[in-house]
Amino acid sequence: MDAVALITAAVTAGVMAGAKGVAAQAVKDAYAGLKKLLLERFGDQGDLSQALEMVEKKPEGQARQAVLAEALKDAGAGADAALLQAAQALLDLDKAGGPPASPTFDAQVTGSGAIAQGTGAQAAGEGAIIAGGDVKISGK
């Protein structure tokens, strides 16, 4: 995938994920950052701002994506390393469904004892449980 196609795909993925309302906040934030970077660096060149708005209104439209790709090419956006990095990060997040989930832990205590679980967790005395994050305890 060439640089302009990568940026176009990232914009389209970000808009579509946000439009579905199911995007992880990280995907929405990544799109907002990509859009800001695009507009700061290339928004005053040609029709890029208008092309971006068109894709935001109808992201599945192939003709609109083609207009955006042409505006990106004309602006020279494909040569911007920071923009390419932001576009790739957005696509990676969208593909993965958002950032990695936090680790979860499951523990059972039988008899007397202590459990220390999670990063930096410490056990404190017989039958005590000290853990960071969400803790779910099931009884006997």
Residues 60 and 86 in one domain: yes
Residues 86 and 27 in one domain: yes
Q: How many domains does the chain have?
A: 2
pLDDT at residue 119, as a whole number: 57
Residues 112 and 54 in one domain: no
Residues 77 and 23 in one domain: yes
CA distance 1 to 44: 26
pLDDT at residue 26, as a whole number: 83
pLDDT at residue 131, as a whole number: 55
CA distance 21 to 96: 16
Q: Which parts of the chain register pLDDT below 70?
A: 19-23, 97-140
pLDDT at residue 45, as a whole number: 74
pLDDT at residue 77, as a whole number: 92
* Alpha helices in 1-140, H assignment, sequence order: 3-20, 25-42, 48-57, 62-75, 81-96
pTM, two decimals, is 0.64
Residues 124 and 81 in one domain: no
Domain limits at 126?
Answer: 102-133
pLDDT at residue 98, as a whole number: 53
Residue 140 counted as domain residue: no
Residues 106 and 41 in one domain: no
